[in-house]
Chain A
Amino acid sequence: MAKKQLVFALLAAGALASFMLAGCGSGNETGGAEGSGEGGANQASAPVTINMTLPGTGLPTPDNDDIKKALDEKLGTDIQLTAIQSGDDYNNQLRVRMSAGNYPDLFTTSYTYLKEFAEKGLILDLTPYLEKELKPAKDFITNLSSEDIWKKVTVNGKIYAIPRVPDVPFSSFWIRQDWLDNLKLNPPTTLDELFEVAKAFTEQDPDGNKKNDTYGITGQKFDAFSPVFGAYGVGQPGTFYEKDGNVINAYYDPNMPEALAFIKKLIDAGVVDPELMTNKGTVDQQKAFQGKAGIIFKGWIEISKDEFVNQYKTINPKAEWVHIDAPKGPAGQFNGSFDFDMPSRYYAIPKAMEKDKAKLQKIFDLINYVSGEEGNDLVMYGIEGKHYNVVDGKVEPTELMAVEGNYFHLYQITGRPNKEYLEVKFPNQAEDIEFAIRIPRIKTLDSSIVPPTGFNKADADRYAEEELVKFVYGKRPLSEYGDFLKTLETTFKYNLYVDEAMKQIKEQGLANNG
């Protein structure tokens, strides 16, 4: 008996020892990586660690990160940026960290989470700091957008996030110019012409390979038809926008059934990629590049960036994709809808940071610095002389910028002057950039709507999309559109959502006639 107990004790000790060994080793392996916030701040000379996190890709390791080095040197910080690739993984990690009290010092989140975190008292109310400590950043953001953007980061009357300057839209219809030339057609300017061109692309062998292997239009779900909705003055399904002085939801737009009827006409004529509703990721883009369709609604960032032009020219040297204006329809000409006031990111600071004044000041310094001229140039263009040169007051990118510069935007906390920036970064696409910014779009208002409790937005959206698919594929007659709305209201309580959205839009003062 005694022997057995001894063995047990030995085993336990052995297990303990291996744990201890494991513990000892950790010091060697990770070195300076530990200490995500505590300590360090008290010593005047030691750099202050700022732990920053957001979803994103392409970030190099810290020793190869020129922006980090430059910022650290300037601000006396040790910025540890973490970028996780997918939004879902990011949200999982963030939620767990928030629940466990292991906050990042500065992080991005969505408006819905922002509201939740604010109501739980987890994040810092920035209102008192905006007029003093954060004044430079505030002015920078307001100048590049509008006063309205602050309404988009407000929860219960208090500002809880630094909004990053809104993105500019990228998308438009793209068409195969060489196909138009082959068939001696003009680019479509109206809905009817769009139909005719799509039909010709499908039936008249535009690539001249004597095979019936092309379609008119490809894309992803209803996004593919954004300009068609626009021609009827209808926003993307589910969005809120102003029409004739009232805020409405796209499903309730009186023109919605007509827009669906036109899409049905396209689908019935067989000129739409039959896999349109199941295309995911880059599938539709690849189909377009492979010459399977001649019209696609996409951003220039997915069609005319150098790498993509190279791609489709490699497949077919004659291929030429050009952007075209949206087709005119009964309600005019709109390239779908876009939320011009939506912050491109929401940066929040945990409430706990309040206690560490020195560190909080460093975070403010960082935010202000990247909003100032010198800092903003750094996070836009990189290191002068390495990533760019200034020639006659103009920024000229070097070759290294195209290679290394793709992650700089992760440090653009407050944003950038979009047009100027994009045209420097993508000089060959300057015309496309300008075009996409200029063409008219329906202005949506829903980026700061938080669905009410008791309403499941994901379920309602899924149902609505399924029914719209049935309508345009003729599985359900459009005469039943009213019944569809009724089900949306009774089964999915969509009216709760609409009412709440109207209320929030009014409270935020976003609509002109709210």
Chain B
Amino acid sequence: MVRGLEDKIFNAVSYTILALVGLVTVVPLLYVLSVSLTPYAEVLKNGGYVLFPKEITFNAYEKLLSNSAIPRAFQITIFVTVVGTAINLTLTALLAYPLSRKGMPGRRLFLFMVVFTLLFNGGIIPTYLIVKATGLIDTVWALIVPNAIWSFNVLVMKGFFENLPEEIFESARIDGAHEWRILLRIAVPLSIPSIMTIGLFYAVGHWNSFFAAIMYITDRSLFPLQVVVREILMMTQQPLENAEDMVPTVTMQMSAVIFASLPIIAVYPFLQKHFTKGMIIGSIKG
């Protein structure tokens, strides 16, 4: 490959810029990780900034886990994420598929109802009243049921189903498949990238769910991870009010951050291939 000087300069410049952007993204994460692994005294001596730990300790994590609230909250969050996402995907697919079929009676009406909720909602208090009236207050289901379907995701998935060629459905029908079979054996398998992507959206949403818990849950043993972690982090954001309040050390705060985000970070690489596909491709391959 013979390249002109101009090309080389161009490459050099773009690589430099990309490297800088990469660095800017990685450094804060690295900082959080390093501080969480460095002995507290070491962090203090360095003025609170450590990028590469000289010594590694898991003290902060041990302390964090000895706090009874965290493992409990972790279970709650995992439950909400797994069950919640399963319910989300089932309901979203079951709503999106019929809406994507051109011949469905009343399609426009139902579509309108879905879109309507994108633009208008009842507001906090009416929603709270419904959650209360259905007996969901102070149960984990308050974190799952009110958000069981996100209309936007229904539209995305509907779009995906619509892009599947009609011929496939026709041939399936000729071969005697009924609608359930078409959905489960043809539409869903062909839409795996979009389902994965939407599943990831839902899962991340559940994992980070915070507001719903603050609103609907008063029982401490049902608090999800983010509420507990936020409690640890927010302590340093405001001046102390009570003499008894213990401020968690910066190493503990950072280990809480890692603890709360690591599972999601760990899942990303496995979903990435579907993720990029789901986001970019609007139709099936060959």
| A8-B98, A100-B132, A302-B240 known; A51-B218 Cβ under 8 A | yes
Residues of A with C-beta under 8 A to B179: 3-4, 7, 10
How far, in Å, is B139 (CB) from chain A's closest CB?
5
B214 & A92 in contact (Cβ 8 Å cutoff):
yes
Per the bound structure, the CA–CA distance linking A26 and B134 in Å amounts to: 12
B247 & A82 in contact (Cβ 8 Å cutoff):
no
How far, in Å, is B234 (CB) from chain A's closest CB?
6
Cβ of B164 < 8 Å from any Cβ of A? no
Give the contacting residue for A89; candidates B138, B178, B214; CB below 8 A.
B214
Give the contacting residue for A96; candidates B136, B140, B178, B215; CB below 8 A.
B215
Which residue of chain A has its CB nearest to the CB of B106?
A8
Give the contacting residue for A286; candidates B48, B215, B239; CB below 8 A.
B48
- Contact count band on A: 35 or more
Cβ of A408 < 8 Å from any Cβ of B? yes
Within 8 A of A (CB), among B106-152: 124-125, 128-129, 132, 135-141, 144-145
A11 & B48 in contact (Cβ 8 Å cutoff):
no
Which residue of chain B has its CB nearest to the CB of A433?
B243
A406 & B246 in contact (Cβ 8 Å cutoff):
yes
Residues of A with C-beta under 8 A to B246: 58, 307, 406
Pick the most buried of B105, B214, B234: most chain A CB atoms within 10 A of its CB.
Answer: B214
Pick the most buried of A57, A86, A305: most chain B CB atoms within 10 A of its CB.
Answer: A57
Give the contacting residue for B237; candidates A82, A100, A280; CB below 8 A.
A280
Query: Chain B's interface: helix, strand, loop or mixed, by majority?
Result: helix
Give the contacting residue for B140; candidates A29, A83, A93, A305; CB below 8 A.
A29
Residue count of chain B within 8 Å CB distance of chain A: 59
- Against A, the Cβ 8 Å flags (1 = close, 0 = not) of B53-97 are 000000000000000110010000001000000010011001100
| A92-B214, A314-B45, A315-B44 known; A59-B220 Cβ under 8 A | yes
B243 & A426 in contact (Cβ 8 Å cutoff):
yes
Residues of B with C-beta under 8 A to A305: 243
Subset of 21 A-B contacts with CB under 8 Å: A4-B179, A7-B178, A18-B91, A26-B140, A30-B139, A30-B222, A33-B222, A34-B138, A34-B139, A60-B68, A61-B68, A61-B220, A82-B220, A85-B230, A85-B234, A301-B245, A302-B239, A311-B44, A314-B40, A406-B246, A409-B244
Known pairs A30-B140, A281-B238, A406-B245; list 12 more (Cβ under 8 Å): A7-B178, A29-B141, A34-B135, A34-B138, A53-B218, A57-B245, A60-B68, A61-B68, A83-B220, A84-B214, A289-B44, A425-B243
Measuring CB to CB, which residues of chain B are less than 8 angstroms from any residue of chain A? 40-41, 44-45, 47-48, 68-69, 72, 79, 87, 90-91, 94-95, 98, 103-105, 124-125, 128-129, 132, 135-141, 144-145, 178-180, 214-215, 218-222, 227, 230-231, 234-240, 242-247
Measuring CB to CB, which residues of chain A are less than 8 angstroms from any residue of chain B? 1, 3-5, 7-8, 10-11, 14-15, 18-19, 22-23, 25-26, 29-30, 33-34, 36, 51, 53, 56-64, 80-86, 89, 92-93, 96-97, 99-100, 102, 104, 170, 220, 280-282, 286, 289-290, 299, 301-302, 305, 307, 311, 314-315, 405-409, 422, 425-426
